[in-house]
Amino acid sequence: VVSRSKEAKQAGVKMGMPMFMAKKDFPDVNYVVANHEKYHQYSKRVMSCLKDYSPDIEIVSVDEAYIDLTGTQRLFKKNYIEIAKDIREKIFRETDIPVSIGISHSKILAKLASDKAKKTGGIFKIGKNDILSVLKQTEIDELCGIGRANSLTLRKNGIILASEFVAKDD
């Protein structure tokens, strides 16, 4: 299993689980065989939509990218939330895919915002004044780059929240 819907996650299907085990343990879940060529085609269409808003795009994977919108507020005469809405609508119109967009000042915070956007309507912004309050509500293992082993080590050392992590010295 390499990808799961929120329903499959709630049912208990684990990432990386062998298919024969998943089908045995969760027979009521719908399983779809990957079509990598189709994913690649859709990914290109999504990334093409992003290029209409900025030339500065870092494609991370087939379904994730970072786009630098610095200065585009003046160009589009809209704030970042409005630009994100435009991007989201364009992608949906051209691909029929609902995307999540996170807006912030760094890639890690933008990724965190994108994860939060999945639960809050598709767009989430972490502004400079919001960072600490968001990190106080974010468990350490929700941060991109904090894997299972690091999360366990940090928790053993009393670091549960992202705000506790960033408060530590180097």
Query: Is 89 annotated in the active site?
Result: no
Buried b (16+ CB within 10 A) or exposed e, 6-45: eebeeeebeeebeeeebeeebeebeeeeeeeeeeeebbee
Question: Which is the catalytic residue, given 7, 37, 58, 64?
Answer: 64
Annotated active-site positions, please?
A: 64
